Amino acid sequence: MEKLRHISGSIVGLPVNDIDTDQIIPARFLKVTDKAGLGKAAFCDWRYLEDGETPNPDFILNQPDYAGASVLVAGNNFGCGSSREHAPWALLGAGFKAVISTDFADIFRNNALKNGLLPIVVDRDTQQQLFSLAEEAPGTEVSVDVEAQALTLPDGRRVNFPLDGFSKYCLLHGVDQLGYLLALDGDVRAFEASNPQRVKTTV
């Protein structure tokens, strides 16, 4: 994973609550065996017309004003539904580096952090302010300092957001969490030696 210290980019708003992973990437795109090329499937059923190819001109991500937006501002409870990691893969593939919402579904947040897509939790007022800015002034940029856990709005206001220490360390240093677990092999062996195996699948 690449190091993630700063993000700056323009925002686009999707003021819809409870955007589920089936909207982020519909299940028919899950028949892949790698992670590449999922960006074009992001929000597919909202983004394209009936034929699945012609961009829907009404959908915000298709509007030229928002081309190149890399920070998505979304309604409450973003990423609910399935455990598909294809959701952050698709968002990253579509050029997003961070998603801002008032809260995230647990599995989505975990998956996002493991891929360097930053879930930023803000209060309701900040969320609403960002929605308005995105709508009224397309191209509005925000910046994010991961180390300081701070989001800076165009008016200079800084909003702090929560980020657990471990995920932060991994983002800042570009390390993935598996390395940490692999290094605990001794502890795992000790655990296995003192606890019975509960079930054996190979019999």
Partner 1 sequence: MTENGRPRTLFEKVWHAHTVREQSDDTPAVLYIDLHLVHEVTSPQAFSMLRERGLAVRRPDQTIGTMDHSTPTTPRNDLGVIPIADAMAALQLDTFSRNCRDFGIPMYALGDEHQGIVHVIGPEKGLTQPGMTIVCGDSHTSTHGAFGALAFGIGTSEVGHVLATQTLLQNKPRTMAINVDGRLGDGVTAKDIILAIIARIGIGGGTGKVFEYRGEAIRSLSMEGRMTVCNMSIEGGARAGMVAPDDTTFEYMRGRRHAPSGAEWDAALAHWRSLPSDPGATFDQEITLRADELIPMITYGTNPGMGMPIDGAVPAPADEPDVNKKIALDKALDYMDLSPGQQLLGKAIDVVFIGSCTNSRITDLRQAARFMDGRKVADSVRMMVVPGSQQVKMQAESEGLHEIFRAAGAEWREAGCSMCIAMNGDQLRPGQYAVSTSNRNFEGRQGKGGRTFLASPLTAAASAVAGAVADPRVMLAN
Using CB under 8 A as the binding rule, whether residue 23 contacts partner 1 is answered as yes
Using CB under 8 A as the binding rule, whether residue 39 contacts partner 1 is answered as no
| The token pair that represents 67 in the structure block | 């081309």
Using CB under 8 A as the binding rule, whether residue 2 contacts partner 1 is answered as no
Q: What number of residues does the chain have?
A: 203
116, 171 contact by CB (below 8 A): yes
b/e 28-63 (16+ beta carbons within 10 angstroms → b): ebeeeeeeeebeebbbbebbbeeeeeeeeeebbbbe
The smaller minimum CB distance to partner 1, of residues 53 and 64, is found at 53
Using CB under 8 A as the binding rule, whether residue 101 contacts partner 1 is answered as no
Q: Which stretch binds partner 1 (CB under 8 A): 2-10, 65-73, 145-153, 188-196?
A: 188-196
Residues 64-93, one symbol each (x = binds partner 1 by CB under 8 A, - = not), give -----------xxx--xxxxxx--------
Using CB under 8 A as the binding rule, whether residue 107 contacts partner 1 is answered as yes
For residue 130, the tally of other CB atoms under 10 A from its CB is: 26
Q: Binding residue for partner 1 (CB under 8 A) from 2, 155, 193, 199? A: 199
The smaller minimum CB distance to partner 1, of residues 10 and 82, is found at 82
Integer Cα distance of 201 and 195 in angstroms: 17
Interface of this chain with partner 1, residues 120 to 179, rule: CB under 8 A: 164-166, 169, 176-178
Task: For the chain, list the strands marked E by DSSP.
Answer: 6-14, 71-74, 98-101, 118-121, 141-145, 150-152, 158-160
CA 149 → CA 10, 124, 176, 194, distances in Å? 18, 18, 19, 40
Residues near partner 1 (CB under 8 A) are 15-18, 20, 22-23, 26-28, 30-35, 45, 50, 52, 75-77, 80-85, 103, 105-107, 110-111, 114-115, 164-166, 169, 176-178, 180-182, 184-185, 187-188, 191-192, 195, 197-203
